[in-house]
Structure 1
Amino acid sequence: MSIPDDRPATWFVTGTSRGLGLELAVQVLERGDNLAATTRSVERLASALAGRVDTAKLLALEVDLRDAAAVAGAVEQTTARFGALDVVVNNAGYGFLAAVEETSVDEVRDMLDVQVVGVWNVLRAALPVLRNQRSGHIVTVSSVLGLTAVPGWALYCAGKFAVEGISEALAGEVADFGVEVTIVEPGYFRTDFLTTDSLGLPAATSDGYPAIREMVQSHLELQGSQLGDPVKGAERIVAKVVDGGGPLRLILGSDSHAYATAKVEALQANLDDARDTAARTDHATLAEGVSA
């Protein structure tokens, strides 16, 4: 178990005013645990939680995750208010759907500042606490598009591929301190992720990518009929943290499992194809030593 069983756990969760983050916030508070919930709008979070759950153990924090000092201050407020920090969930993010050619430098920087730099800021602020107490659990909400890429999602995939790499490395770095790491890989969940409020679109488009335009329209029309249930998704995340242990990755959704399986099969086919040729670039003497 990566959280205490003799007192309420303290969770620090980013991106809590909607979607999977909101459902996670509700379930953490329903457990009677403490919650530091970051959001871009405290008012929107309060409205979303109103009437659903007792907020006595909620610390709502309006934080720009791109601001390292602000993030560090939020972690300090959390430990000052609750006297502990046990679970850190990097959940904040947004989608972006465009061809690579259509994606501007500012759109790239904005996405990666939130999805990569923001995650890193949270980790830098929280890790000294977890490492010194030699316990805790870090959850990175990635996506199946952190494992595989499809046309139109290049920028979103770039960010999610990055946090997958960060989290894999981190898991090895903190294991000896009793800190667990989990990477969550959801498929399409029935949140507002595919609405124009959450889904970034390019400032300028090209006539050369009609398939991308069709994909954008089909995704907007998919809103409300996605396969995944965010309540069940949050339940799985909470259970993974409470139980502790298990695999590094938590796959959520049969669609996510299918996409990930296809990627593994394609990668295996690639490895099989390269089995007899990969060693041709090895230094001859070193290669002989390895084979021996």
Structure 2
Amino acid sequence: MSYPTDRPATWFVTGASRGLGLELVVALLERGDRVAATTRSLERLTGALEGRADTADLLALEVDLRDAAAVDGAVRATTERFGALDVVVNNAGYGFLAAVEETSEADVRAMLDVAVVGAWNVLRSALPVMRAHRSGHVVTVSSVLGLTAVPGWALYCAGKFALEGLSEALAAEVADLGIDVTIVEPGYFRTDFLSTDSLALPADTSGDYPAIRAMVRDHLALQGSQLGDPVRGAARIVAGVVEGGGPLRQVLGSDAHAYATAKVEALRENLDRTRDTASLTDF
């Protein structure tokens, strides 16, 4: 088991000032672990934690994850403060709702820089520390939309699909180094993710996508009635790490399980239909 049993564990959590990231930080501090929490706004993080948790074992860090040097500094500050680094949670990200052609070059780069490049920067900084101790756990907070795609979520799905591939390859690379990897795939959780604070929209839209405009309205109206409980979600993420030995993918929410199951069934049907033609390109 990579989780330490002789001392409080040290966690490094990105995207910690809201949503599942915030609930995870609260849960970890309540259980007595030590937490380095990164955010784009220290004021928002400290305000969100006020009255919810004892912050004596919290290292709050304002970090732009796109800046590799800044990430290096954050990981170094973590090990200097706590003397260890046991669990890394790549959680930072945001939503984007638009048709493919409505996403600008700037939209694409901004999304992938945070969701993919930022996660990669954290891994490059943290893995050498874990590898030196032959122990550790990497948690990638993906989404069920990292397994399946729906209209209007193409850019968000692109980032999450990339994280899935990165994490699946990483799991095989570090399996013999005492480092575990878990990909968390939540469904809709009752956070502010579907609010305009966390959800980006395109600057220009086309009248030829009325279904996507309707979907955007429906999703914004869904805020506050999502099925998933973020406190329970955070608890399951912690339990998965502490218990160890779980599957590569941790699906959170019955809605996520239904979406993922439908994708597997559709993929199986696709494979069945191409069984007889796949070999036609072999020498």
Q: Same fold (TM over 0.5)?
A: yes
Distance 1:264 1:193 in 2: 26
In the alignment, the residues of structure 2 paired with residue 245 and residue 136 of structure 1 have an alpha-carbon distance, to the nearest angstrom, of: 13
SS state of the match for residue 8, structure 1? coil
Q: Letter of the 1:248 partner, please give it.
A: L
Alignment-mate amino acid for residue 169 of structure 1? A
Structure 1, unaligned stretches of length 5 or more? 284-292
Q: Does 1:277 align with 2:277?
A: yes
Counterpart for residue 220 of structure 2: 220
Q: In the alignment, what sits opposite 2:154? A: 154
CA–CA separation in structure 2 for the residues paired with 1:123 and 1:245: 21
- Look up the match of 1:40: 40
Distance apart, 1:233 and its partner CA: 0.3
CA contact (8 A) 1:137 1:181 kept: yes
| Cross-structure match for 2:206 | 206
After TM superposition, list the pairs within 5 Å mapping 1:209-248 onto structure 2.
Answer: 209-248=209-248
SS at match of 2:173: helix
Partners of 1:74 and 1:100 in 2: CA distance: 35
Q: Which amino acid aligns with 1:204?
A: D
Q: Tell me how far apart the structure 1 counterparts of residues 30 and 136 of structure 2 sit (CA, whole Å).
A: 20
- Per the TM alignment, residue 3 of structure 1 is displaced from its structure 2 partner at its CA by 1.1
Letter matched to residue 93 of structure 1: G
Question: In 2, distance between residues paired with 1:138 and 1:144?
Answer: 18
Q: Which amino acid is the alignment partner of residue 282 of structure 2?
A: D
Which residue is 2:22 aligned to? 22
AA of the residue aligned to 1:220: L
- Secondary structure of the corresponding residue to residue 260 of structure 1: helix
Q: Secondary structure at the match of 1:29?
A: helix
In 2, the alpha carbon distance for the partners of 1:149 and 1:12 equals 29
Distance (whole Å) between structure 1 residues aligned to residue 180 and residue 139 of structure 2: 8
What amino acid is aligned across from residue 76 of structure 1 in structure 2?
A: R
How far did 1:276 drift? 1.0
* Distance in structure 1 (CA, Å) of the matches to 2:24 and 2:95: 19
Within a 5 Å distance, the mapping from 1:252-271 to structure 2 comes to 252-271=252-271
Q: Which amino acid aligns with 1:215?
A: M
Instruction: Give the distance between the partners of 2:51 and 2:107, measured in 1 at CA.
Output: 37
Per-residue deviation, 1:48: 0.6
Preserved CA contact (<8 Å) 1:190 1:229: yes
In structure 2, the residue matched to 1:135 is 135
Equivalents in 2 of 1:113, 1:53: separation in Å? 31
Give the whole-Å Cα distance in 1 for the aligned partners of 2:249 and 2:182.
6
* Alignment match, 1:105: 105
Task: Measure how far apart 1:248 and its partner are.
Answer: 0.1
Instruction: List runs of 5+ in structure 2 lacking aligned partners.
Output: none
Whether the 8 Å contact between 1:185 and 1:252 is mirrored in structure 2 is: yes
> 8 Å contact 1:184–1:252 — kept in the other structure?
yes
Report deviation, 1:246: 1.6
* Superposition deviation, residue 247 in structure 1: 0.5
Report the counterpart of residue 69 of structure 2 in structure 1: 69
- Is this contact kept in 2: 1:2–1:243, CA < 8 A? no
Give structure 1 regions of 4+ aligned residues with deviation exceeding 4 angstroms: none
Give the alignment's Cα RMSD to 1 decimal: 0.5
Residue 20 of structure 1, CA deviation: 0.3
State how far apart, in whole Å, the 2-side matches of 1:7 and 1:74 are. Answer: 22
CA distance in structure 2 between the partners assigned to 1:31 and 1:133 by the alignment? 24
What is the distance in 2 between the residues matched to 1:272 and 1:212? 31
Paired residues, what number?
283
The question of whether the paired residues in 2 share the 8 Å contact of 1:102 and 1:204 is answered with: yes
CA contact (8 A) 1:87 1:137 kept: yes
Matched, 1:117 2:117: yes
| Deviation string, structure 1 residues 242-262 (Cα, Å, up to 9, x no partner) | 001121000000000000000
Structure 1-normalised TM-score?
0.96
Q: Please report how far the alpha carbon of residue 150 of structure 1 lies from its aligned counterpart in structure 2 after TM superposition.
A: 0.2
How much has 1:275 moved relative to structure 2?
1.0
Percent identical residues = 80
C-alpha distance in structure 1 between counterparts of 2:280 and 2:131, whole Å = 43
The 2-side partners of 1:122 and 1:203 are apart by 30
Letter in 1 for 2:54: D
**2:54 pairs with 1:58:** no
